Structure 1
Amino acid sequence: MIKRYFVSAFFVCSFSGCIVKKSYAAEDEKGKAEKKLNVLFIAVDDLNTDLGCYGNKFVKTPNIDRLAKRGVKFDKAYTQFPLCSPSRSSLLTGQRPDVTKVYELQTHFRKNLPNVVTLPQLFKNNEYYSARVGKIYHYGVPGQIGTDGLDDPISWDRKVNPKGRDKTEESLVKNLTPDQGLGSALAWHASEGADEEQTDGMVASEAIKLLKEKKAGPFFLAVGFYRPHSPYVAPKKYFDQYPLASIPLPKEIQNDLDDVPEAAISTKPAHLGLSVAQRKEALRAYYASISFMDAQVGRVLDELDRLKLTNKTIIVLWSDHGYNVGQHGQWMKQSLFENAAHVPLIISVPGGTAGKASGRTVELLDIYPTLAELCGLMPTQKLGGKSLTSLLKNPDGIWDKAAYTQVRRNKITGRSVRTERFRYTEWDGGKAGVELYDHQKDPNEFTNLAKESTYIITVNELAMLLQKGYPETK
């Protein structure tokens, strides 16, 4: 068959802006272009890296683990803001939080960026069927389950808001921290009934329906799971996988926080005052919710295989931020310790590198330019991230990009930069404290080296790197 080629332009974006490259797609003599790749965009709410493929062999996540074997697992991926709405607004617009100006859970990014083209909107504008099932943009869990919340209607051709028995059975939830609302509480419920009756089970079922309906493609299907966000609700069989007595608590040391700035501490009192037994109860429920969510991811991946779409579909799995489960006495998010900033990120590309891990520091912000490049689409605005396509080809390749995470609590902003070896953090520009951790020697961040004389050069270098990552604050 005689073939001819046409040229399509797309952008590759980095901190220095976007540059145009070219891609070539083959056409046959009838002028039919090769099939566009689909995108399955899986978002998980409040998921840290307590996953089998990330080295936690206690937590059962067989489906996310098998996805990691299909693609590239990024071992040092970081959120831009460890809170749902700021993180999701950043990822989906391709802009840093200081550009979106979203620092809490109420502001919609379009208030500040009315004309920005979001990631799903880019695909929609380029003749992809763009659909959302569940939570992609922010809305409160569990309060706004079943609603649109802070959705962005222009991003989608179709949206589905499931609501399951976890929502209707809220009165059965056990709250270990009753002074906290359910969405920010250590609270749980081992539910009766089938997976498909839960909201996440319904998310998987609706995603499967859309895969069947739109299998001819091309599609951008965003599938947003709610668990393991609190309250930790899952069918009882997932709780049974984790006998309470067997739950391992994170390592802690005495006087751990003596060298840590007060501004860095988000959970007060430590462990919210819970006993060891209660902490195990909460952690078992969090792990049960992870395994339940993992099973729903598996259902969607199975359908992708059954429909023979796997070799036509880019799969991205990500969490909006990490999650403290007792490290340093801290729980949940809104801190700049590693467990809150570090996120799972797995990207599988048909015919691409499989079963490899990259140790390069990357950001959720990098997903937008990566998918645009992989699919040959042209972003209409300068993006804050950098395409990961070179690392998808060579996970150990040369990479000179650090990862940046920020948070705002009690009117104080913390900003952190993560290199492959160090984490450096300034609170209120350093006026409320500075932290430096050497992950090569101290992966648990037990020793703050910021005031150690032998690290003066490192502190100065990282302070400059931190400033470079936040040009909007100059």
Structure 2
Amino acid sequence: MKFKRVLPLYSIIKRTLLLVMCTFILGTVSATAPPDKSKVNKKYNVLFIAVDDLNNDLGCYGNTFVKSPNIDRLATRGVRFDKAYTQFPLCSPSRSSLLTGTRPDVTGIYELQTHFRKNLPDAVTLPQLFKNNNYFSARVGKIYHYGVPNQIGTNGLDDSISWSKRVNPIGRDKAEEAQIKNLTPERHLGSALCWRATGGTDEEQTDGLIATEAIKIMEEKKNEPFFLAVGFFRPHTPYVAPQKYFDLYDENKVPLAIEKENDLADVPEAALFTKPSHWGLDEQKRREAQKAYYATVSFMDAQVGRLLDALDRLKLSENTIIVLWSDHGYNLGQHGQWMKQSLFENSARVPLIISVPGQGGKASSRTVELLDIYPTLAELCGLPAPKYLQGKSLTALLKNPAATWDKPAFTQVKRKDFMGRSIRTERWRYTEWDEGKAGIELYDHQNDSNEFTNLANDPKYSETVKELSVRLRKNYTTNTSEVIIKE
């Protein structure tokens, strides 16, 4: 009986020892096996989509006339910021501010000719930060300033040290410039209401080529972390796109801007960029220009769709942060104004969508700035942001779009001899021209979203004017350029 009891115990011990040995051997083999790169590399990629002169006339922002299915699709997987603002409604000043993370009064860029490195030689730009931290940093198309259409296909005012690779596509839109119809012939093509519906395919246009080249980079770099900046030229004038995008819109149904009689009677002269109103164009020509603008929006949107499809096809969507932004807004006849370079809402407000894997389908009504993009991406990707950045990370709003937030947005624009400066809170827009000497404006967006009534000189709002003026002046008297040099 004793023998029979001992034998099973011996068998159990033997089997247990064998199991322990097998587990140790398998663990050793597993530890020394080549790692699965797809699991080891958990760094976020960044797809950084810049759109030139795009306002908020998009489906996801409530415009039911404009067809933008792909940007709308992006909004369902990201956070849509409903009150996002440029720091300067002109291409180079805006882009220089966003990409250096500093305000225009620090970059010193107020026009289209000066390179920001002249004033900030030691600044670490947003793409440069990624490049310095072992990301493949690439640019396709317009990220820093280009003169449009003259500099398409060149490096423009690009910053070479920001990138590992640069690509400058040039399409048939550039080759066929002579066929563009200019409704304002006294103005050059880059600042005119002018358009052309072309033949051919999307891929023959500059923006189509930009999408193609960007997709090639995704395919080549899918197994390593990348910061891929894709800069589309449309809808910047000249409004050029294949005919099929023009066919999406009935010119006679284009919703022209709401106008009010004597609207400009209480507006300072300095506030106006388009003089005379609508540059003298009649209603039919304005419809023609606005239809062309929307056609190029839809064309550009289709290229965004190609990028999103490529991310999904390459299985990169689950590990890629997507940011879509425009350098400034765009007037389409509001207050008789066209294009940018004003401090009205349509010129200052921009579309901004940030998609982080696992977060999406939300909207935030907090006032944010393009300046906030740099610190946001640095935090999301765990990179050491420069201490001098003047924006604020939006990560709290990405997690909770309604989170407590008391940061206003500041926008400025230069007139010949002085500056106009504006502060936007969730309710108010307050603007001073030449520190108030050339006029002030106050609009209550809670009751007057079209900014038809200037309340600045109404005694009932004197305390609001005083409070906003103090906040506005405090912002632009703070200059941190010395900090950048020390960095």
CA contact (8 A) 2:143 2:229 kept: yes
For residue 397 of structure 2, give the secondary structure of its aligned residue in structure 1. Answer: helix
1:443 match: 449
Any residues of structure 2 matched to 1:361-440 within 5 Å, and which? 361-440=367-446
Name the SS of the counterpart of 1:205 in structure 2.
helix
State the alpha-carbon separation in 2 of the partners of residues 377 and 470 from structure 1.
28
Residue in structure 1 matched with residue 7 of structure 2 by the alignment: none
| Deviation of the 1:422 alpha carbon | 0.3
2:322 corresponds to: 315
Query: Deviations for 1:204-246, whole angstroms, at most 9, x for unmatched residues?
Result: 0001100100001200000000000000000000001011111
Q: C-alpha displacement at 1:33, in angstroms? A: 5.7
Letter of the aligned partner of 1:420 in structure 2?
E
Moved more, 463-472 or 437-446: 463-472
How many corresponding residue pairs? Answer: 447
* Alignment partner, residue 351 of structure 1: 358
Residue 330 of structure 1 corresponds to 337
Code of the aligned partner of 2:341: Q
Hey, what does 1:5 align to over in structure 2? none
Aligned partners of 2:57, 2:281: CA distance in 1, in Å? Answer: 21
State the 1:34 CA deviation.
Answer: 5.2
The letter for the 2-side match of 1:111 is K
Partners in 2 of 1:364 and 1:145 — Cα distance?
Answer: 24
Query: How many angstroms apart in 2 are the aligned matches of 1:473 and 1:304?
Result: 40
**Residue 122 (1) aligns with residue 104 (2):** no
Other-structure match for 1:292: 299
Structure 1 moving runs of 4+ over 3 Å: 28-34
Task: Please give the alpha-carbon distance, in whole angstroms, between the structure 2 residues aligned to 1:163 and 1:423.
Answer: 40
Q: Identify, as 1 or 2, the structure richer in helix.
A: 2
Distance 1:29 1:193, change over 3 A: closer
Whole-angstrom distance in 1 between the partners of 2:448 and 2:345: 11
In 1, the alpha carbon distance for the partners of 2:41 and 2:292 equals: 46
Counterpart for residue 45 of structure 2: 38
With over 3 angstroms needed to count, the CA separation of the structure-2 counterparts of 1:350 and 1:358, relative to structure 1, is same
Q: 1:339 maps to which residue?
A: 346
Distance 2:162 2:412 in 1: 26
CA deviation after TM superposition for structure 1 residue 30, in Å: 8.2
Contact 1:435-1:448 within 8 A present in 2 as well: yes
Shift of 1:381: 3.8
Post-superposition CA distance 1:366-386 (Å, at most 9, x none): 000000000000023410100
In structure 2, how many angstroms separate the alpha carbons of the residues matched to 1:228 and 1:472?
35
Task: Describe the shift of the 1:473–1:272 C-alpha distance in structure 2 as closer, same or farther (beyond 3 A).
Answer: farther
The aligned counterpart of 1:181 is 188
In structure 2, what is the equivalent of residue 456 of structure 1?
A: 462
User: Alignment identity in percent?
Assistant: 72
d(CA) in 2 for partners of 1:288, 1:53: 17
TM-score, length-normalised on structure 2?
Answer: 0.90
Corresponding residue for residue 20 of structure 1: none
State the Cα deviation string for residues 268-320 of structure 1 (Å, max 9, x = none).
00000000000000000000000000000000100000001000000000000
Which residue of 264, 271, 279 corresponds with 1:264? 271
2:75 matches 1:71: no
| CA distance, structure 2, for counterparts of residue 238 and residue 72 of structure 1 | 27
Match of 1:6 in 2: none
Change (3 A) 1:178 1:152: same
- Which residue, 463, 469, 472 being the options, matches 1:466? 472
Question: What corresponds to 2:485 in structure 1?
Answer: none
The answer to whether the Cα contact below 8 Å between 2:181 and 2:194 also exists between their aligned partners in 1 is yes
Cα 1:30–1:289 change in 2 (3 A) is closer
Relative to the length of structure 1, the TM-score reads: 0.93
* Aligned counterpart, 1:160: 167
Name the SS for the 2:435 alignment partner.
helix
Measure how far apart 1:472 and its partner are. Answer: 3.5
- The aligned runs of 1:48-63 (5 Å cut-off) are 48-63=55-70
Q: Secondary structure at the match of 1:107?
A: coil
CA 1:463/1:146 → structure 2, altered by over 3 Å: closer, same or farther?
A: same
| Letter of the 2:190 counterpart | G
Alignment of 1:104-253 (within 5 A): 104-253=111-260
Shift of 1:469: 1.7
Deviation at 1:468, TM superposition (A): 2.2
CA distance in 2, matches of 1:407, 1:37: 35
Please identify which structure carries the higher strand content.
Answer: 1
Q: Which amino acid aligns with 1:199?
A: T
Partners of 1:29 and 1:458 lie apart in 2 by 65
Match of 1:103 in 2: 110
User: Which whole-Å CA distance do the structure 2 matches of 1:81 and 1:280 have between them?
Assistant: 27
Does residue 275 (structure 1) correspond to residue 282 (structure 2)? The answer is: yes
Q: In structure 2, what is the equivalent of residue 19 of structure 1?
A: none
SS in structure 1 opposite 2:190? Answer: helix
What's the offset of the Cα at 1:410? Answer: 1.8
Alignment partners' CA distance in 1, 2:317 and 2:115: 34
Cα separation, 1, equivalents of 2:479 and 2:273? 24
Question: Contact (CA 8 Å) 2:54, 2:329: kept in 1 or not?
Answer: yes
- Cα distance per residue 1:393-433 (max 9 Å; x no partner): 00000001000000002222100000000000000000000
1:349 Cα deviation after fit: 0.2
